[in-house]
Amino acid sequence: MAFDSLTEKLQNVFRNLRSKGRLTEDDVKEAMKEIKRALLAADVNFKVVKNFIKNVQERAIGQDVMNGLNPGQMVIKIVNEELISLMGSETTEIKLQPGSAITVIMMAGLQGAGKTTTTAKLAGKYKLKGKKPLLVACDVYRPAAIKQLQVNGEKQGVEVFSMGENHKPSNIAKAALEHAQKNGNNLVILDTAGRLHIDEDMMAELQEIKEAVEVHQTILVIDAMTGQDAVNVAEEFNQKIGIDGVIVTKLDGDTRGGAALSVKAVTGKPILYVGMGEKLSDLEQFYPDRMASRILGMGDVLTLIEKAEAEIDEEKAKEMSRKMKKAQFDFDDFLESTKQMKNMGGLSGILSMLPGMGPMGGLGKKGMQLDDSQTEEAEKKMARMEAMIYSMTPQERRDPDLLNPSRKHRIARGAGVDISEVNRMVKQFNEMKKMMKMMGKGGKKGKFRLPF
Ligand code: GDP
């Protein structure tokens, strides 16, 4: 698998760091030098490496070490986050036209990059997603390319449109689109001709296709084995014809993998998929976080880091639980706890415990099980509640007893709600505090308990 050597080198750097009790600035700098060497050896673009090291170093020096992590793990955490960000952070989907409209994708790339194979792989993926693809043989220079597309299309159970070798690619594209309209194909993928090197004719031909039919997505296929060249090719294609995304092939091989790490930073265009083998099923959607963790080869440490991060939230929750027991819970804490709940994902499960939403306020007797419309209603309520709290002064949030009628009127105006709603919220808040005090005395023990 690609990156093996990079993974090994990075692991050595981290191993050396782990044996240190505290990291000095020199330790960090030394480690950065080694990471830099490892990335350059993996064929990552020089400018990209320089920038990457600068970012990691800035963050690593002067960073507080998180509870439960040693300094070496802290550096791993930063390197991991920077690797993810380098590769674009988010997974990018190919943008399809809405509804039943036909999406036209033009595949581009040098000869041998894996264009024809990837075209068929992609068609298979979209067929599974319910699309009806049409593959179009626009590579008229190599009869073998047409045959290859036909064979692969057949294997995927996908129709292939071809007009042989005696037509201009732009005309073939036009005819293919008419064919798609008649036959109900909603995804047209054009397999274009590559050359051994970038040349004007190839670019002109792609341009001509773009003028003949409306191309919605231009996807460049690059070969990871060609290292830095692949990235230079991507930059040139992007400048000359404009690309929307990249597919990096042959990451399964013994490649150094640098292209996958550099291409987003150099071209600004995301990696959409990666080719992981010659079989037609060997195409994987690209997840920057999974790739980073694969490169670091440290699944266990990354899990540990996640836990440490979760513990920080837990600390906050404990602090809040302590306050609640003493009934010191105020509106600031309320806002903080709603934030935490959102972080925990999925409002519906926890909403029922909020004042005015669960058994106390009565949205659904079962409390925990809200259906969609109830969840929506509860979310709206919660947003209004937040708006009311944001309309309070800091003193009012800390000391709800200050809320006299004139202050309540002001808050209602600020939040755009009726005064009765402010009254209701304050009443429920006070009831909740009373209840918490009782629960506190009752002493229900739990590692992490919601503050409501
Ligand atoms: P094209 O000239 O760009 O159309 O390239 P082809 O699709 O003909 O592919 C060139 C060679 O690369 C073929 O032997 C493919 O089987 C191989 N290939 C394509 N993608 C991958 C991949 O992800 N991994 C591996 N190992 N080989 C691949």
| 313 lies in some domain | yes
Query: Is residue 450 situated within a structural domain?
Result: no
Residue 452 has pLDDT above 70, yes or no: no
Do 334 and 354 fall into the same domain?
yes
Q: Give me the DSSP letters along 335-388.
A: HHHHHHHHHTS-HHHHHTTSTTTSTTTTSSTTSS---HHHHHHHHHHHHHHHHH
C-alpha of residue 250 to centroid of ligand 1, in Å: 7
pLDDT of res. 370 = 58
Let me know whether 128 and 172 are in one domain: yes
CA-closest residue to ligand 1 atom 26: 277
Q: Give the count of domains, the chain.
A: 3
Looking at the fold, whether 279 and 396 belong to one and the same domain comes out as: no
Computed over every residue of the chain, the mean pLDDT equals 85
Please check the confidence at residue 94 and state whether its pLDDT lies above 70. yes
192 in ligand 1 pocket by Cβ < 6 Å?
no
Q: Looking at residue 269, what DSSP letter applies?
A: P
Q: What is the pLDDT of residue 179?
A: 98
Whether the pLDDT of residue 428 is over 50: the answer is yes
Residue 25 lies inside a defined structural domain of this protein: yes
68 lines ligand 1 (CB under 6 A): no
Cα–Cα distance for residue pair 308/430, rounded to 1 Å = 34
Q: Is the CB of 253 under 6 A from ligand 1?
A: yes
pLDDT band at 346 (very low <50, low <70, confident <90, very high): very low
Identify the CATH number of the domain in which residue 182 sits.
3.40.50.300
CA dist 127 and 125 (Å) reads 5
- 260 and 384 share one domain: no
- Report residue 400's pLDDT band, with 50, 70 and 90 as the boundaries: confident
Looking at the predicted structure, is the pLDDT value of residue 356 above 50? no
Is the model more confident about 347 or about 30? Answer: 30
Cα four-point dihedral sign 337, 343, 345, 346: positive
Query: Could you say which of 292, 327, 349 is where a domain stops?
Result: 292
Q: What is the CATH number of the domain that holds 62?
A: 1.20.120.140
Question: Which of 278, 280, 284, 285 should be mutated for ligand 1, with most atoms under 8 A from CB?
Answer: 278
Determine, yes or no, domain membership for 322. Answer: yes
User: Using a 6 Å cutoff on CB, does residue 112 contact ligand 1?
Assistant: yes
- 141 with 280, same domain: the answer is yes
Domain that residue 356 falls in: 302-442
Instruction: Dig out the tokens for 14 from the structure.
Output: 């981290």
CA–CA separation, 71 vs 303, rounded Å?
Answer: 16
**Is residue 71 in contact with ligand 1, taking CB distance under 6 Å?**
no
pLDDT band at residue 321 using 50, 70 and 90 as cut-offs: confident
Query: Is 448 a member of any domain?
Result: no
Residue 449, in any domain of the structure? no
- The answer, yes or no, to whether any atom of ligand 1 lies below 6 A from the CB of 117, is yes
Q: Indicate which residue's Cα is closest to atom 6 of ligand 1.
A: 114
Neighbours of 128 (CB within 10 A): 9
pLDDT at 251: 92
Are residues 125 and 246 part of one domain?
Answer: yes
- From residue 62, how far is each of 50, 69, 80, 302, 306 by CA, in Å? 20, 15, 18, 21, 21
Same domain, residue pair 326 and 389: yes
Answer yes or no: do 248 and 203 share one domain.
yes
Is 195 annotated for ligand binding? yes
Helix (H, G, I), strand (E, B) or coil at 284: strand
Task: Decide: 278 in ligand 1 pocket, CB within 6 A.
Answer: yes
Q: How far apart are CA 389 and CA 222, in angstroms?
A: 53
Residues 46 and 185 in one domain: no
Q: How confident is the model at residue 449 (pLDDT cuts 50, 70, 90)?
A: very low
Question: Could you read off the pLDDT of 102-118 as tens digits, one per residue?
Answer: 999 999 999 999 999 99
At residue 347, the pLDDT reads 53
**Residue that is last in its domain, among 86, 112, 142:** 86
- Answer yes or no: do 287 and 408 share one domain: no
Question: Please, where are the H alpha helices in 87-142?
Answer: 115-128
Phi, psi (deg, nearest 5) at residue 327: 55, 40
Instruction: Write down which residue in 273, 292, 311 finishes a domain.
Output: 292
Query: 312 C-alpha vs ligand 1 centroid, how far in Å?
Result: 47
User: Is 369 within a domain?
Assistant: yes
- Do the domain assignments include residue 98? no
Residue 24 is assigned to a ligand binding site: no
Query: 373 with 247, same domain?
Result: no
Is residue 26 domain-shared with residue 123, that is, in the same domain?
no
